[in-house]
Amino acid sequence: MVNWIDTSDIRALLLAGGQSSRMGTDKALLARQQHAQPQHIKQQPQQCQTQLSYMLELLSKLGLKEVLLSRNPHQQDEQWHNSALPRISDNFNNCGPLAGIEAAVRYSLQQSDPGKALLIVPIDLPLLTERTLRYLLSQGQVGNRACYFRNHFLPLFLPLNPSHHQLMLERLQQAHNSGKPRGLSIKALCQQINADALIAPHSQSLTNANTPQQWQQAGFHLRPNLTLANKAS
């Protein structure tokens, strides 16, 4: 059972700017078209939503201070759905998700009301639920400590801490100067800031989908939103 929590001082960061090279198409624009049900099961026709719109809708249910979208400038999205969202661009190119996290921490710390923490969520969890995220939020708020689910370094609850930001900056700058573009991994970040590894109450909701096979195993047809995908190409 998840106790009532106050999320009004927490921002969310949706990481949706990856290259999606293993999927072969932009994961954010994949249409969530479920596999066909047996004919005897009657279903009401539903408009097919994309993974991006699903995740934004999920985050909107949490009562958060603000939702930030990490997405590359060249990537198209559903302007009618997220045009009001702050769009965060990486300050370090080709350095993976850590660069998106650093940019969101920097953005938050620069605001007149920085808030207390970030809830960092990747785009590639098609079965993620509100209940799973609320559990992570509640555990993070108990001790105001960074936490994630064991064997899954995202989603991540990250308290806003200038020392954490400085650590990310140093590692990203080192990677930039050395020509090693990946920088500091999220796993290494969690280890260095002593983040707590939680046991997920519903591990299925953390099913990762980075390939067409994984997307189909999660229960969805692999069908991109062709209108948006064509614009992005």
| In the chain, where the domains are located | 10-232
Task: Assign domain 10-232 to its CATH superfamily.
Answer: Spore Coat Polysaccharide Biosynthesis Protein SpsA; Chain A (3.90.550.10)
CA distance linking residue 209 with residue 15, whole number of Å = 14
Instruction: Express each pLDDT in 82-129 by its tens digit.
Output: 567 899 999 988 888 999 999 999 999 999 999 999 999 999 999 999
**What tokens were used for 166?**
């400085």
Residue 40 pLDDT = 45
Q: Which of 233, 166, 139, 160 is nearest to 12 (CA)?
A: 160
Condensed to tens digits (0 to 9), the pLDDT of residues 122-139 reads: 999 999 999 999 999 999
Rounded alpha-carbon distances, angstroms, from residue 64 to 67, 137, 165? 7, 11, 21
Separation in Å, CA 11 to CA 17, 84, 117, 125, 218: 18, 15, 6, 19, 28
This prediction's pTM: 0.85
Element (H, E) at 197: strand 196-198
